Amino acid sequence: MIERESSLIPAVGIAPRKPTLGFVFSHPAHAIALGFGCGLSPRAPGTVATLWAWLVFIVLQPHMTDAQWAALLLASAVIGWWACTHSARELGAADPGAIVWDEVLGFWCVLWLVTPSGFWAQLWAFALFRIFDIAKPGPVAWADALFKVQRGEPIGWRQGFGILFDDLVAALCALLVIALWRFI
């Protein structure tokens, strides 16, 4: 298994810093990237953020059309790219474990595409998404490695996109398994 924290390479001239609650709410980008505080969880911040995403989805779903979900997901991807890039720079790390907007966006995509579905189907989707995101098999590992910062390279838009990209590939893999399961 690839450890997310092992990918931390300090930005040029910036020592990596540990985020605090004050950091989360010091800038809108930090609040978004760190999942409004979910990323501060001392254990499994990605799983905590995915659970938060599930709760938000359950609250919003009855009030939103597919077109509204598509718009929200697109806006969340663009704003998330900005927020993740900005926050990674401020933290001095290319892919800090505290940045969890990628889990939120990825799991919203999964839930949107498997809905309507009941609790057990959503739980199955949750488990699949987390397995693909944590274990990073095949295409997810490829996506994770594609945008890593090179030694001496400043953290930029490429790495911000990379933070999101591997979770979108994990979401796609989870959806593929769900589709194959339903087909069989």
Sequence spans of domains, the chain: 44-183
| CB neighbour list of residue 57: distance below 8 Å, 6 or more residues apart | 107, 108, 111, 112
> Tell me: the pLDDT tens digits for 102-144?
999 999 999 999 999 999 999 999 999 999 999 999 999 999 9
Say how far apart CA 97 and CA 41 lie, in whole Å: 10
Neighbours of 170 (CB within 10 A): 30
Helix, strand, or coil (residue 11): coil
In terms of pLDDT, which residue wins out, 102 or 153? 102
Distance of CA 94 to the CA centre of its chain: 14
pLDDT tens-place string over residues 3-40: 344 344 444 455 688 999 999 999 999 999 999 999 99
pLDDT-above-90 percentage for the chain: 77
HSE-CB for 62 with a 13 A CA cutoff? 3
Q: Is the pLDDT of residue 87 over 80?
A: yes
Q: How many CB atoms lie within 10 A of CB 69?
A: 19
Given pLDDT bands bounded at 50, 70 and 90, which one contains residue 153?
confident
pLDDT at 166: 95
Please state, in angstroms and rounded to a whole number, the distance separating the CA atoms of residues 127 and 25.
Answer: 30
pLDDT level of residue 151 (50, 70, 90 thresholds): confident
Confidence (pLDDT) at 18: 92
- Contact indicator for 125, 114 with CB cutoff of 8 Å: yes
pLDDT of residue 46: 97
Q: What is the pTM of this model?
A: 0.88
Residues 70, 58: Cα–Cα separation, whole Å: 16
63 CB-near residues (< 8 Å, 6+ apart): none
Here the tokens at position 184 are 């069989």
- Please choose, from the candidates 85, 109, 89, the residue with its C-alpha nearest in 3D space to the C-alpha of residue 32: 85
Spatial distance between the Cα atoms of 46 and 134, rounded to a whole number of angstroms: 9
